[in-house]
Amino acid sequence: MSQIKPIVFEEYEVEVLESTGYVLIVWNDDINTFDWVIKTLIDICKHEPEQAEQCAMIIHYKGKCDVKKGTYEELKTMCEAIVDRGIGATVEEIK
């Protein structure tokens, strides 16, 4: 998911963490309730209730929320499970 590259700076070696990988995005709609989205995030993404509530609020007010980061394979499975529940979701590469 992330790579560490050594960089030499003034005779000291410093490790820089580069952000690579994928993000699971859940999208807002006018169909699903807050409770259904929250339950879905808890069941599928293993969010704590407070985290799921915060994500649901962000989804509602911002139109989308990055709910999970990870490898494409693990997020694809979660994405499909969320979509199967009638909620819009996508997996996108972190740039």
* Angle CA 51–73–93, to nearest 5: 75
What does the DSSP assignment read for 56-93?
Answer: HHHHHHHSEEEEEEE-HHHHHHHHHHHHHTT--EEEEE
- What is the reported pLDDT for 11? 56
Which residues span the domain enclosing 34? 21-93
The better pLDDT of the pair 17, 73 is held by 73
Would you say residue 3 lies in a domain?
Answer: no
Which pTM does this prediction carry?
0.78
Would you say residue 40 lies in a domain?
Answer: yes
Report how many domains make up the chain. 1
- What is the reported pLDDT for 2? 55
- What is the reported pLDDT for 9? 47
Would you say residue 44 lies in a domain?
Answer: yes
Would you say residue 6 lies in a domain?
Answer: no
57 touches 51 (CB < 8 A):
no
pLDDT in tens, 11-61: 555 555 555 699 999 999 999 999 999 999 999 999 999 999 999 999 999
